[in-house]
Amino acid sequence: MKHINLKRAIPALLLASVLFSACTKVERDDDFTAGNPPPLGGGYTNSNQVAAANLVGYWAFNGSLIDSVSGVSAVNAGSTFEAGKKGLGYKGSSTAYATFSPTAALQGLKSYTVSFWINSPANTGAIGIFTIARTDDFWGSLDIYQDNGGGADKAVFKVHMYNSAVPWAGQFTDTKVSFNTWVHLVATYDGATSIFNIFENGNALGVNTAGNPGNTVGPTLKGSDPGAPPVTPYGNLNFINATKGAFGAFQFQTTPSLTAAATAQGWATNFAGKMDEFRIYNRALTSQEVTALFQLEKQGR
């Protein structure tokens, strides 16, 4: 029997182990191994795994306007489909939009996360992206839109919401979003803590405590500024008359208007860019969940 020289064999085995480890290093960027992507933080390997039990609306826009959760399609009014972030995506125009009837889960949101990809052309006015309408008021129950004032290369991204008859006084956020490139945007609101946040490409842009001076929703908070007047936290949402909704338009820009309180406004227009992977959850996702969702969808999974 031939004897093995251990002094020579052990270093050779160590070298082979290092080389094998280097060749099989797990890839966690966009160039993951096809068919066997590595899990991200939280153990996710697919975007549909993120907070799956809390997903109450999901429009992939992959050639249709169907909500994968309810199985119901939105009604198209001039929008088309083009290459999106993942497969096909929604393509709007200055006159196009799509309307839908919010499910009971959407009408009953107390907290939320709205997540989507957007590729927007430059705008000079207010452009409606999404609304859960309030059919008896000028503004919707939940409005997501972009406004002018962001400069030549960026738009100002804004969110408005209602709790019963009380609008959120801090509804406007100065989040700047780049034009003509795919950007992942997430808006979260936690009714238990009144914390609102916006994430861009997985990064939190700042926490905002939603509270209105003098309203009657919940206990009074002093806030971090001792000189500021007391405010009342916004609390769990309570949408009123939220029986209609739209992609790519404000509630008053559709024909006919989704609200009896307003018709088309000269300063507003519809969304002429592209959207994709539009998801709504019934709770505020954590930072880890938002980051995972961004990375997974970015990688097409």
Q: Which amino acid is at 117?
A: W
- pLDDT at site 85: 94
105 in a structural domain:
yes
In 3D space, the residue among 243, 236, 238 whose CA is nearest the CA of residue 210 turns out to be: 236
- pLDDT at site 214: 43
| Number of domains the chain contains | 1
End-to-end C-alpha distance for the chain, whole angstroms: 54
Contact 153, 178 (CB under 8 A): yes
136 in a structural domain:
yes
Q: Three-state secondary structure along 185-244?
A: EEEEEECCCCEEEEEECCEEEEEEECEECCCCCCCCECCCCCCCCCEEECCCCCCCCCCC
29 in a structural domain:
no
161 in a structural domain:
yes
Separation between Cα atoms, residue 112 and residue 55, nearest integer Å: 10
159 in a structural domain:
yes
26 in a structural domain:
no
Query: pLDDT by residue for the chain (301 residues), tens digit each?
Result: 445 454 454 455 444 444 444 444 333 444 444 445 556 667 888 899 999 999 999 999 999 999 999 999 999 999 999 999 999 999 999 999 999 999 999 999 999 999 999 998 887 789 999 999 999 999 999 999 988 765 667 778 888 898 887 877 666 666 777 888 999 999 999 999 888 888 999 988 765 555 544 444 443 343 444 555 555 778 899 999 999 999 999 999 999 999 999 999 999 999 999 999 999 999 999 999 999 999 999 988 8
Q: How is residue 73 annotated by DSSP? A: B
- pLDDT at site 122: 80
- pLDDT at site 213: 44
SS3 124: coil
5 in a structural domain:
no
193 in a structural domain:
yes
- Structural domain range at position 132: 52-298
CATH number (domain holding residue 134): 2.60.120.200
Separation between Cα atoms, residue 25 and residue 33, nearest integer Å: 11
- pLDDT at site 180: 86
